[in-house]
Amino acid sequence: MNVSREFAISLDNQDPLKHFREEFYVPDNQIYFDGNSLGLLSKRSEKAVHTLLESWKKYAIDGWTSAEYPWFYLSEEIGRQFAPLVGAKPNELINTGSTTTNLHQLVASFYKPQGKRTKILADELNFPSDIYALRSQLQLKGLSPDEHLIQVKSSDGHTLKTEDIINAMTDEIALIVLPSVLYRSGQLLELDTITKAANERGIVIGFDLCHSIGSIPHELSHWGVDFAFWCTYKHLNGGPGSVAGLYVNEKHLGREPGLAGWFSSHKAKQFDLENILPPALTAGAYQIGTPHVLSLAPLIGSLEIFSEAGIHAIREKSLRMTDFLIDLIEVELEDFQFQIASPIAHHARGGHLYLTHEYAASICKALKTEGVIPDFRSPNGIRLAPVALYNTYEEIYRAVHIIKRIMIEEHYKKFQNKRGVIA
């Protein structure tokens, strides 16, 4: 394996996506490897925000229909642009809400406990917010979360086995909600195999795509996934608090959502102001309230970039980058007790790498003082996310050598080994 700086530079020179780095505001004197928590601002997103602000100033109330990007249809228009990223039809998508709000909406719509089918299947490694929402939905149905929420166990504390997930699909399961990529280890689940097993058993299944959308391709409609939901501020670079998205399989469209609101309406009938909801015939029915227009704006610019780069090219580069990162870690950090907890195989790895170390929190703090921005995850994890659109191979080389120097000089021992307020 070649882990030299010269090799890294040669990879950058040959990179067909390298020009996209110029689209982003990359912090000076920093190596930003936290794009799986918050992506960087692009110049196109910045321009789109100014455009939407100008439309408010220029058109006032008429911006709903007369602006360059009419606000009334903006959630639907942006939603359609997710189609190539998730492998869905335009009518199956809507840009709305937040991740957890959308999960509540989808569970309220698709969780129909009947007879012995009363349980929800999740996993013990999922992001806690999803689990909070599932427990809440069970309580709203008058059911005990301790009895009715089944969480697939991990055999190693980092990954899930497909066979364990499928074996848990008993005739008591009414709904399945799983992450596509585990937020700590970065494991990419076998979404097609898991979905097929759920479909064969007549169980509704949905996925949290927060750590995969914008980083890996999906084929949600082809696989037969019932629903999915995601945030847009990580790999999609939509900015803090940017509006989330959801997918509902075409076979479920045309019905009333579990949580209805004004923007659940059929667009042509919304201002008839009827007391009985005429639901939209698209995934737009799963909206609840008025679109957050100014928080939608950055996605206009961001999704243009994804359309030009192509999700398959992004995935190819992402895998090459994490391959190079793995090689460097194995060669340069072998004496410092780091463990790679992410899967090595391409088919099982998402867009970030997860290292464990006894002093992970201290090491992350030391790295920040050296201009490397990682992401600590309790209890002992360091996430590193080289993002295909704006990171370089040479940055990966430098980051690993900075980690090595921090360990040799024991610089990390100057810091408390516990997380900050935001980790």
Q: Show me where the domains of the chain are located.
A: 5-32+310-414, 47-308
Parallel, antiparallel or unpaired: strands 173-179 and 204-208? parallel
Binding residue positions for pyridoxal 5'-phosphate: 99-100, 127-130, 208, 211, 233, 262, 290
What are the phi and psi torsion angles at 314 (to 5°)? -65, -45
Question: Reduced to 3 states, what is the DSSP secondary structure of residue 81?
Answer: coil
- CATH number for the domain whose boundaries are 47-308: 3.40.640.10
pLDDT the model gives residue 273: 86
Average pLDDT, the chain: 97
Regarding the domain delimited by 5-32+310-414, which CATH topology (the fold level of the hierarchy) does it fall under? Aspartate Aminotransferase, domain 1 (3.90.1150)
Cα separation values, 423 from 246, 338, 368, 391, 419, Å: 27, 19, 12, 21, 6
Parallel, antiparallel or unpaired: strands 227-230 and 245-248? antiparallel
Strands (DSSP E) along 57-148, which ranges? Answer: 93-95, 119-123
Q: Residue 272's pLDDT band (boundaries 50, 70, 90)?
A: confident
**179 sits in which H/E element:** strand 173-179
Pinpoint the alpha helices (H) of 141-205.
Answer: 145-148, 162-167, 191-200
pLDDT the model gives residue 422: 65
Torsion sign across C-alpha atoms 44, 47, 51, 52? positive
Check residue 3 and report its DSSP letter.
Answer: -
Binding residue positions: 99-100, 127-130, 208, 211, 233, 262, 290
% the chain with pLDDT above 70? 99
| CA 122 remoteness from chain centre | 17
CA distance 118 to 203: 11
pLDDT one-digit tens code per residue, 134-145: 999 999 999 999
Average pLDDT over residues 310-324: 98
Q: Residue 1's pLDDT band (boundaries 50, 70, 90)?
A: confident
CA distance 423 to 411: 20
Residue 67 tokens read as 């602006």
Q: Which residues pair with 151 in a beta bridge?
A: 122
pTM of the prediction?
A: 0.96
Check residue 289 and report its DSSP letter.
Answer: S
